């Protein structure tokens, strides 16, 4: 496995990231404006969208274009970063990113419905969080899932996230408040054995 580094050239907030994972080679690279159609294909699937809190619905190509342009134009000091997850054939599988980088970074991810269940996101989240702790000084990474998102909860748990509470959070695509499980991953101890509680 190649070492994974979030390379921040010139303090730009969009680093190049490479991962080489066990079951399937996956590359993380910064989102660019040309990803808009691929993002739209993934997010416009209802099974994906219904698990997200704050996306417009119906999800239009214009939404994806605006998002791709916004994140690809982020400059030094931007408070978020997003990466495309690609396989060895450059298929766009999904996205992973961090927001609120200057506070408690919050991770989010989506995967094309066709690739669910093959372990891609478990591997990607683990590698991404480890690399993020190397890159940024935060003590913890936050996340959260709607309580009916069993797959995502499992992915988080396998990575070491633990539940710290529940809130009622509005789900834009479903147009209602749902129970949301708040999760946190603490920075690994220097010895690298256990996560701090
Ligand atoms: C969440 C998501 C990224 C998971 O991706 P994935 O590549 O399928 O995840 P993995 O294959 O790595 O792991 C899924 C795990 O959840 C388990 N799982 C999935 N659905 C499950 C269910 N309904 N009940 C119980 N376990 C379930 C799988 O068995 C697997 O666990 P295992 O490795 O112990 O067997 C993907 O489903 C997705 O994009 N969902 C829509 C968007 C989303 O929810 N984003 C996250 C918002 S918090």
pLDDT tens track for 109-159: 999 999 998 888 998 999 899 888 888 889 999 999 999 999 999 999 999
| Structure letter (DSSP) for residue 193 | S
Q: Is 118 a pocket residue for ligand 1 (Cβ < 6 Å)? A: yes
Are 183 and 167 within 8 A, CB to CB? no
Q: How confident is the model at residue 7 (pLDDT cuts 50, 70, 90)?
A: very low
Task: Check residue 160 and give its pLDDT.
Answer: 97
Asked if pLDDT for residue 11 goes beyond 50, the answer is: no
Region of poorest pLDDT, from 18-32, 116-130, 164-178:
18-32
- Sheet containing 6-7: order of strands: 6-7, 16-18, 26-30, 81-87, 92-99, 106-111, 140-146, 176-186, 162-171
Task: Check residue 20 and give its pLDDT.
Answer: 44
Candidate of 22, 23, 117, 119 to mutate for ligand 1, largest count of ligand atoms within 8 Å of Cβ:
117
Which pTM was predicted?
Answer: 0.88
Task: Check residue 191 and give its pLDDT.
Answer: 62
Residue 64 in tokens: 């994806």
Average pLDDT over residues 2-6: 43
Residue 120 in tokens: 């891609």
Of ligand 1's listed atoms, the one at least distance from the Cα of 146 is 48
How far, in Å, from the CA of 153 to the mean position of ligand 1?
7
**Which has more pLDDT, 20 or 143?**
143
DSSP characters for 127-159?
Answer: HHHHHHHHHS--SEEEEEEETT-HHHHHHHHHH
What's the CATH fold of domain 6-139?
Aminopeptidase (3.40.630)
The neighbouring-strand residues paired with 84 are 29, 95
Percent over 70 (pLDDT), the chain = 83
Q: Is 167 a pocket residue for ligand 1 (Cβ < 6 Å)? A: no
Asked if pLDDT for residue 94 goes beyond 60, the answer is: yes
Of ligand 1's listed atoms, the one at least distance from the Cα of 152 is 1
Q: Is 116 a pocket residue for ligand 1 (Cβ < 6 Å)? A: yes
Q: In 3D, which of 134, 67, 77, 126 has the Cα closest to residue 101?
A: 77
Of ligand 1's listed atoms, the one at least distance from the Cα of 122 is 12
First to last CA, the chain: 29
Q: In 3D, which of 32, 41, 36 has the Cα closest to residue 113?
A: 41
């Amino acid at each position: 496995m190649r070492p994974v580094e979030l390379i921040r050239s010139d303090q730009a907030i969009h680093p190049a990231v490479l991962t080489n994972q066990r079951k399937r080679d996956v590359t993380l690279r910064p989102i660019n404006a040309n990803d808009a159609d691929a993002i739209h294909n993934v997010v416009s699937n209802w099974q994906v969208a219904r698990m997200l809190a704050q996306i417009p619905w119906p999800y239009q190509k214009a939404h994806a274009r605006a998002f791709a342009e916004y994140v690809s134009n982020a400059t030094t000091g931007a408070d978020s970063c997003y990466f495309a997850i690609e396989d060895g054939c450059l298929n766009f599988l999904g996205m992973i990113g961090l927001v609120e980088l200057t506070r408690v970074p919050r991770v989010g991810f989506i995967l094309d419905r066709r690739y669910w269940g093959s372990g891609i996101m478990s591997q990607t989240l683990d590698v991404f969080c480890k690399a993020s702790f190397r890159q940024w000084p935060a003590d913890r990474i936050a996340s959260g899932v709607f309580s009916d998102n069993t797959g995502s909860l499992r992915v988080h748990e396998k990575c070491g996230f633990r539940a710290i509470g529940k809130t009622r959070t509005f789900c834009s695509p479903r147009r209602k408040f749902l129970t949301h499980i708040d999760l946190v991953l603490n920075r690994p101890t220097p010895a690298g054995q256990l996560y701090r509680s």
